[in-house]
Structure 1
């Protein structure tokens, strides 16, 4: 993702950042949970996802819906060379059943 003038998200790419229900509530460098580095923020997200603590608007655990993301290209604002919660979502969405 970019904020460059004229840039557009490629067709078919699914945005999973904040404020979507798939967004990571643990902000890198944020003050609410302390100054988190990317790896720690992603670890918190994965832990909460696996423990069914991340819910959609209807109260359904996101882990129960993660297969909706199978085969999709996901986008977030994280730097491509840093850990991102989208990597966690891709792992669970595309795992062998």
Structure 2
């Protein structure tokens, strides 16, 4: 299925709203960093940003998320999904 550029990639809670792509653990998009052992929410999100940017396969797969509703357990709190949505806008919308 082709991405729908007219839709904005956004993040929702996986149990509260309908979604297109689950990005939590254990999906390939899941954040390997855990709040607590790996730092605060903000720290693990920034660690995820650095990690995903260093993952060529995931960066190449970003177009899969273009125009999709992403679901995780964190939303509406800050989430690694926000990083993915930002990267989609940055790398897939040129």
- C-alpha root-mean-square deviation of aligned residues, in Å? 2.0
Higher strand share: 2
Give runs of aligned pairs for residues 1-97 of structure 1, distance below 5 A: 1=13, 9-10=17-18, 12-29=19-36, 31=37, 33=38, 36-52=39-55, 61-80=57-76, 82-95=77-90, 96-97=93-94
Please give the TM-score of this superposition, normalised by the length of structure 1: 0.70
**Bigger Rg over Cα:** 1
Unaligned 5+ residue runs, structure 2?
Answer: 1-12
Deviations 1:24-48 (A, max 9, x none): 000112x3x3xx2111111000001
The alignment covers a number of residue pairs equal to: 80
Q: TM-score, normalised by structure 2?
A: 0.72
How far apart in 2 are the matches of 1:79 and 1:9? 10
